Chains A and B, each alone.
Chain A
Amino acid sequence: AQSVAQPEDQVNVAEGNPLTVKCTYSVSGNPYLFWYVQYPNRGLQFLLKYITGDNLVKGSYGFEAEFNKSQTSFHLKKPSALVSDSALYFCAVRGSLASNTGKLIFGQGTTLQVKP
């Protein structure tokens, strides 16, 4: 069975500091991994994805994510946090053996709070 875990309900960082939001996964076959962000009272927005290739993936708004196959992790990172980055972040996955129909398995979400 496919699953995604985000071990932290909330991450607090000071503005200007680096941030990391953690994600681990379990899938059949190779993983297709994604990060989405949800701002208050909005739907989710796509940030970035990993399908294959370079383990460091760059996405929107200065975010990047590092794929680590041995640790089955896909942590979201940003070198310098902004207050406007405060939002709810979701990791999602699809295994390569699953049907390619746009269905994703989402983690439970991590609230990022960036303080001035």
Chain B
Amino acid sequence: NAGVTQTPKFQVLKTGQSMTLQCAQDMNHEYMSWYRQDPGMGLRLIHYSVGAGITDQGEVPNGYNVSRSTTEDFPLRLLSAAPSQTSVYFCASSSRTRDVEKLFFGSGTQLSVL
């Protein structure tokens, strides 16, 4: 049982480049979310999804897109990377029917935008 898997673990981009951070979970969780972690600011919600085909914005959605075509996958797309997007990104999932606030996190993607 792998839990929540994020790829890549590290990435360096140049300003203006685009990329997709991958997230997959094998727990059949309905809810999935993306957070960014910055020093002194904790975790901030970027986008979340309550099920396949349904996504919504979180606290800091600008510059990011998401889609949820399957229950398992929730990729995060950076459209045109900016230095302000340098951060550690975490994907999380939880069950709608069992302890919805018990989030299971991936191990993170450390992104640097030069």
Contacts and interface: CB of A to CB of B under 8 A. Distances in A.
Interface of A: 4, 6, 9, 32, 34, 36, 41-46, 49, 90, 92, 94, 100-104, 106-109
Contacts of B58: 103
B2 interface: no
Interface stretch (B62-70, B73-81, B95-103): B95-103
A102 B41 contact: no
Nearest to B106: A43
B100 A102 contact: yes
B42 interface: yes
A46 B98 CA distance: 14
A92 B48 CA distance: 17
A106 B108 contact: no
Contact of A101 (B31, B35, B104): B31
A74 to B, nearest CB: 14
Contacts of B102: 46, 49
Contacts of A43: 4, 90, 92, 105-108
Given A43-B4, A43-B105, A44-B90, A102 B31 contact: yes
